[in-house]
Structure 1
Amino acid sequence: MARIDLQRRFDWDTFVTRYWNQRPVLYQATGINPFMDTDVFDAALGASRGAMEPPTALEARTDVQFTIDQGQPVQLGPWLPRDTDGSLDGYDSRLADALGTRRYALIISLLHSHGFGLWSRERAFFSDLWRRVGLPLSGGITTLFHGNYEHSPVGVHLDRFTTFLFAIRGRKRMRFWAKRPWSMPVTTLVDYAPYLAKSFTAEVGPGDILYWPASYYHVGESASRDVATSVNVGIPVTGHQARYDVEDLVGPGHSNAPRTRDTVRGRALVPGVLDGDGVLPRELPAALRQAANTLRENSRDARTQAHIRTLWLNRRSAGGLEPPPPPARRRPLKDTDILHGNKSFPILLEKTGTGWCCSANGNALHVSGLRQPVNKLVATLNTARTVSVGELLHPFPSRGDLPLRALKPLPATRAGMRRMLEILLTFRAIQLAGR
């Protein structure tokens, strides 16, 4: 029977050579777990707020799943983290009072997109892996598993992800099969008791890191009735579909395609396309007309090439973890404000079409004008030294009070570059000194 390798010291070079896409390994108490309780709770709060939005709202998300004894409650609200909980411990205490002996599972996908602290530390951790194996094709997936559930609601399954499990609180068990243990034509199995003899397990506790390749069937189990918390990071290595790239290029995420209430998470909603007899009308519905117009616009060579470059820059600056957390609220900058950038994760600047694309932390903005002064401003920020807004803006001309909202890309003027700095601040690519 297969057994899992145990290691005490985590080293990326050794990991890539011995284990990456080869076999599972458990690193015990390494002390390098990038996920902190406070960051996990903050991201879970952000995801919960999105889950409570009306389905038609732009902020609505479907990243949250909650089960009680394998069943899903009709209303999620009472069971999700709240600000008043204050922490994961407070959340657990409230649910214990409400559920008694019943078991529950809180599962949040795309966890990294809901909290900047968690996202930034996770990006820093995996940047060393990307230097060795390259960025993932379609971005890593970060999933929170929290609760005292008996086993994962989906049961035994196979992912298209090679996976890292970071144990945060409590203890849990992962059960593996080197190949599919059943012969029935199903992809998941909840009742897997008949196949336990062919499995092997790894029990993880706080601070442990468990890794397994995408080829292993697996299921998560509780090691006790206590609440356990873990974060899984799945990196796609198989089954990448071309439609993911097509959605990037022609979906509402395109820089020239407006995001409306007719779109949710990059997919167009086209209700009422067919009439009662299942026949298409003579005139395209508004949503399909918009999609056709978007495809037509995106097919222009210069615009398509610029958009592809923007997508790639965003993927690089996001560090393989997309989508990034939403930008912060914009605030005006004075000439006396002191800024600094991040040397470890610099702002990227490249030519796209007739202007320049500036990408940081998975977000982009566009600038027009001569490259030299813009490049010098970005290079200064990337040194991470403190510098005043006035010093950064000094080389740029002042051309009156232009209506910047109507200008896209931003002009390389003093007003345009001030707006650029304000936007980079919302991206958290630069910071105000002392904050």
Structure 2
Amino acid sequence: MTTAPAENTAIHFPEVPADFWERALQATDGCTRPAVLKSPGPSGRLFPVEDVLELGADIINAGDVSLNIDGTLLENPVLPGTPPRTVAEFEQYLADLAAQNDAEAVTYTRDYCLRHSDRVAMMTRAFISGFVDRRGIPAPGINVVYIAGHYQETWIGLHNDWCDTFLVPVHGRKKIMLWEPAYFADAGLEEKAAFNGICFGHLDVSPYATDALVLEAEPGEILFIPENWWHYNQLPAAETSLALSIGVFSNGAPAAAAQPAIKAALQMPQFHRRAQSHPRLPGGVLTSLTEVELPADTEALLRAIRDSLAVQQLTRSTSNGVIGGGGVLREAPALTADSVLRGRRDSPVVLLRTGDDTGLLFTLGAMHRQPDAAQVGGLIEHLATGRPFRLGQAIAEPGHAPAVTGLARSLYERGVADLVA
């Protein structure tokens, strides 16, 4: 993963006006209708093209890429040598990719792309934070897909997704035909399983075109597609485009959401020993199952499952549900007691005290052991207010300064705390 320069100006935090999400929810009729939204903030760009091209280069260099040639997914794709890092290089790269594969339409993509860019993950968290405040953290999470290509029609054909989608053009445009979820219910089309939904594949959509809602989005705009709406990208001719698709998966069942936490508790070694014998319960009339006393080892297992679920909730909360990211973004300058910091609402930090001077620190969707929990508690409390504070205010005793300063530096480097001039 890449590390940004030390200067604050090199880090692009999207600035989302206070009323942006109210207007977005109104424009989409509560996330039930497609709409084109203006990107928030004065820059007019949610994701700088340079950062997205760098993300694409990291995806290619890692070999973690899916290549589609004229509608066919290649199992062992061969890509041109040097990944593009400028728009001109990007255009040429796609031309070389098409020529190398004797193809007209080429696309390379990556689901869960944020594992390749802490910077873009941070930008996504900052943008989606207000949406999460209003709609809650989706249980399966928020996944971002990298989409780059030169094509006329959607490479996987007519399809839907089981998520609300914020499609963000970074270079080039998107022109999408959309149909309501029930539109093709009686069309007799063959359904194929897709990664995030159902796909009808490549077919002639002209019989359905007059019923389609057609929306076009360019850089500086965001195309919102509600979950389960059918969509198809169709342009008059092949064009080059680069986009990120932010999928908000709010369709998870409670059983599926809880399964990882329950599985983690069940794998704990203390619950694989021989179980205690269950006492025989007397007959009689019960008014509640709480009157039934369970064996001590069973009660311990239930507590472990509950704790595991709570840990899962904390990790998801501290990342806003965004899957990926969490590494170093920038180098921290020297911090002193007079340094003024402020916590970020989009990246909350939680400290769980587990002993006299130990704890667990939750941040950016991960859990870390915190050996100096008693000393850094004040720092966490100040960050949680979201208001500027002098670092010295978080140092209760002179001996706590190294632990507090060290954690503050680490949180700044990962974009969780900002320095205020």
**Distance (Å, rounded) in 1 between the aligned partners of 2:113 and 2:54:** 10
Amino acid at match of 1:360: T
Q: Does 1:183 align with 2:196?
A: no
Task: Identify the residue that residue 10 of structure 2 maps to in structure 1.
Answer: none
CA contact (8 A) 1:147 1:229 kept: yes
Q: 1:394 to 1:125 in 2, by over 3 A?
A: same
Could you tell me how far 1:223 is from its partner in structure 2? Answer: 4.8
CA contact (8 A) 1:79 1:95 kept: no
Could you tell me how far 1:205 is from its partner in structure 2? Answer: 2.0
Q: Paired residue for 2:36, among 23, 26, 29? A: 26
Identity of aligned residues (%): 16
Task: Identify the residue that residue 154 of structure 1 maps to in structure 2.
Answer: 156
Amino acid at match of 2:219: P
Amino acid at match of 1:125: F
Q: 1:103 to 1:215 in 2, by over 3 A?
A: closer
CA contact (8 A) 1:310 1:357 kept: no
CA contact (8 A) 2:189 2:200 kept: no
Structure 2: any 5+ residue segments left out of the alignment? 1-18, 193-198, 274-297
Q: 1:384 to 1:433 in 2, by over 3 A?
A: closer
Q: 1:45 to 1:23 in 2, by over 3 A?
A: same
Task: Identify the residue that residue 343 of structure 2 maps to in structure 1.
Answer: 342
Q: Paired residue for 1:238, among 223, 247, 251? A: 251
RMSD value, Cα: 3.9
**Distance (Å, rounded) in 2 between the aligned partners of 1:15 and 1:164:** 11
Q: How does 1:327-338 map to 2 (within 5 A)?
A: 327=328
**Distance (Å, rounded) in 1 between the aligned partners of 2:67 and 2:77:** 7
Task: Identify the residue that residue 378 of structure 1 maps to in structure 2.
Answer: 380
Q: Paired residue for 1:113, among 112, 115, 118? A: 115
Amino acid at match of 2:201: V
Amino acid at match of 2:106: Y
Q: 1:364 to 1:331 in 2, by over 3 A?
A: farther
Q: How many residues align?
A: 357
Q: Does 1:219 align with 2:232?
A: yes
CA contact (8 A) 1:360 1:427 kept: no
Q: How does 1:19-58 map to 2 (within 5 A)?
A: 19-27=29-37, 32-50=44-62, 52=63
**Distance (Å, rounded) in 1 between the aligned partners of 2:383 and 2:20:** 32
**Distance (Å, rounded) in 2 between the aligned partners of 1:27 and 1:419:** 41
**Distance (Å, rounded) in 2 between the aligned partners of 1:185 and 1:415:** 63
Q: Does 1:209 align with 2:213?
A: no
Could you tell me how far 1:107 is from its partner in structure 2? Answer: 1.4
CA contact (8 A) 2:177 2:213 kept: yes
Could you tell me how far 1:237 is from its partner in structure 2? Answer: 2.6
Could you tell me how far 1:196 is from its partner in structure 2? Answer: 3.0
DSSP-derived class of the 1:137 partner: coil
**Distance (Å, rounded) in 2 between the aligned partners of 1:226 and 1:70:** 15
**Distance (Å, rounded) in 2 between the aligned partners of 1:422 and 1:97:** 44
Task: Identify the residue that residue 127 of structure 2 maps to in structure 1.
Answer: 125
CA contact (8 A) 2:342 2:420 kept: no
Q: 1:208 to 1:347 in 2, by over 3 A?
A: closer
**Distance (Å, rounded) in 2 between the aligned partners of 1:176 and 1:161:** 15
Deviates more, 1:101-110 or 1:157-166: 101-110
Q: 1:428 to 1:302 in 2, by over 3 A?
A: farther
Amino acid at match of 2:208: L
**Distance (Å, rounded) in 1 between the aligned partners of 2:271 and 2:402:** 33
Q: 1:111 to 1:46 in 2, by over 3 A?
A: same
Deviates more, 1:37-46 or 1:14-23: 14-23
Could you tell me how far 1:227 is from its partner in structure 2? Answer: 0.4
**Distance (Å, rounded) in 2 between the aligned partners of 1:173 and 1:119:** 26
CA contact (8 A) 2:315 2:364 kept: yes
Task: Identify the residue that residue 282 of structure 1 maps to in structure 2.
Answer: none
Could you tell me how far 1:32 is from its partner in structure 2? Answer: 4.3
**Distance (Å, rounded) in 2 between the aligned partners of 1:305 and 1:80:** 50
Could you tell me how far 1:105 is from its partner in structure 2? Answer: 0.6
Task: Identify the residue that residue 429 of structure 1 maps to in structure 2.
Answer: 416
Deviations 1:37-61 (A, max 9, x none): 01212222333343x2xxxxxxxx5
Which structure's relative contact order is higher, taking Cα pairs within 8 Å and 6+ residues apart? 2
**Distance (Å, rounded) in 1 between the aligned partners of 2:324 and 2:161:** 20
Question: Given the two structures, how large is their TM-score scaled by the length of structure 1?
Answer: 0.68
Deviations 1:64-117 (A, max 9, x none): 3111222334543525872xx322431321331342462211212123332222
Structure 1: any 5+ residue segments left out of the alignment? 1-9, 53-60, 255-289, 398-412
CA contact (8 A) 2:118 2:324 kept: no
Could you tell me how far 1:422 is from its partner in structure 2? Answer: 6.2
**Distance (Å, rounded) in 2 between the aligned partners of 1:29 and 1:15:** 10
Task: Identify the residue that residue 78 of structure 1 maps to in structure 2.
Answer: 79
CA contact (8 A) 1:327 1:426 kept: yes
**Distance (Å, rounded) in 2 between the aligned partners of 1:168 and 1:324:** 20
Could you tell me how far 1:318 is from its partner in structure 2? Answer: 0.7
Deviations 1:235-280 (A, max 9, x none): 11324462343225535xx9xxxxxxxxxxxxxxxxxxxxxxxxxx
**Distance (Å, rounded) in 2 between the aligned partners of 1:148 and 1:370:** 52
DSSP-derived class of the 2:73 partner: coil
Amino acid at match of 1:358: L
Q: Does 1:196 align with 2:208?
A: yes
Q: 1:42 to 1:238 in 2, by over 3 A?
A: same
Amino acid at match of 1:27: L
DSSP-derived class of the 1:322 partner: coil
